[in-house]
Amino acid sequence: MKKMQNVMIKGTKDGLTLHLNDQCAYDDLLKELENKLSGHKSIHDEESPLISVKIQIGNRYLTEEQEEEIKAFIRHQRNLVVDEIISNVVTKEEALKERKENEIVSVTAIVRSGQVLEVPGDLLLVGDVNPGGTVIANGNIFVLGNLKGVAHAGFSGKRDAIIVASNMMPTQLRIADCLNRAPDQYAKEDRHEMECAYIDSSNQMIIDRLQVLKSIRPNITRLQGGF
């Protein structure tokens, strides 16, 4: 019966990918990794350029010391540079951070001039954003009221975030790094029509009727029942 390999080395156009068995003992993994790399002749060619290495560890959890041990061993091999270690495992801290970034924070308030309301996930504001007020969210922003101040969605770089308001009359809209100042007519009239702002395929911020939301962002389903 053929023995299962704990280390598989695959060449790609970007370098090497090491697939490490996530079921075997760590010491056995390290021993086989050493044997495989030391027997890989092309790696030891002094005239070869640096080779980028990605390490796939699957469902194995590595401590910081074990990660550093593997990285250090690979770095000692001539021409190899560790690019990243890819794991299916997330730490408790990473899971909590992701949960916060994906939760909907509901706030009932009026954001007045000089005030800033910021949340790590999606913001559902039941109230108004007055001129001079600012709302910021890592995810989407939903304002069930007048948006007359500044709204910045996707502040950490999420370009698929959206901004929705019952009455869209903003001083400024931002999604990720894309900025849009409201047209002059917004300051002169109450539109009383729910609208949404989003970045389209040409990287331009568009303000349109809420009805288009289902076609441009079909995966936004966390607010059950819609608007």
Of 89, 120, 137, which residue constitutes the final position of a domain? 89
Q: CA–CA separation, 178 vs 188, rounded Å?
A: 24
Q: CA–CA separation, 81 vs 48, rounded Å?
A: 13
Q: Within 10 Å of residue 18's Cβ, how many Cβ atoms?
A: 21
Q: 41 and 79 in one domain? A: yes
Q: What is the CATH number of the domain that holds 161?
A: 2.160.20.70
Q: 201 and 121 in one domain? A: yes
Task: Answer whether residue 105 is part of any domain.
Answer: yes
Q: 147 and 42 in one domain? A: no
Q: CA–CA separation, 17 vs 163, rounded Å?
A: 40
Distances (CA, A) of 29 to 16, 33, 36, 70, 212: 18, 6, 11, 10, 52
Contact of 119 with 103, CB cutoff 8 Å? no
Domain of 102, in residue numbers: 96-216
Q: 194 and 120 in one domain? A: yes
This prediction has a pTM of 0.58
Residue 32 three-state SS: helix
Of 74, 89, 104, which residue constitutes the final position of a domain? 89
Q: 100 and 212 in one domain? A: yes
Task: Answer whether residue 165 is part of any domain.
Answer: yes
Report phi then psi at 86, rounded to 5: -105, 125
Q: 112 and 148 in one domain? A: yes
Q: 101 and 60 in one domain? A: no
Task: Answer whether residue 226 is part of any domain.
Answer: no
Distances (CA, A) of 147 to 114, 116, 187, 196, 208: 15, 13, 11, 11, 15
| Number of domain units in the chain | 2
pLDDT (tens, 9 = 90+) of the chain, 227 residues, equals 556 788 888 888 888 888 999 889 988 888 888 888 776 555 555 566 788 889 998 888 888 899 888 888 888 776 788 888 888 877 667 667 667 667 889 999 999 999 999 999 999 999 999 999 999 999 999 999 999 999 999 999 999 999 999 999 999 999 999 998 655 555 455 556 789 999 998 999 999 988 887 777 777 655 544 44
Q: 123 and 68 in one domain? A: no
Task: Answer whether residue 173 is part of any domain.
Answer: yes
Task: Answer whether residue 160 is part of any domain.
Answer: yes
Q: 110 and 85 in one domain? A: no
Q: Which of 60, 53, 62 is nearest to 9 (CA)?
A: 53
Task: Answer whether residue 223 is part of any domain.
Answer: no
Q: Is 59 left (phi over 0), alpha (psi -120 to 50) or beta?
A: alpha
Distances (CA, A) of 148 to 36, 134, 205: 63, 9, 18
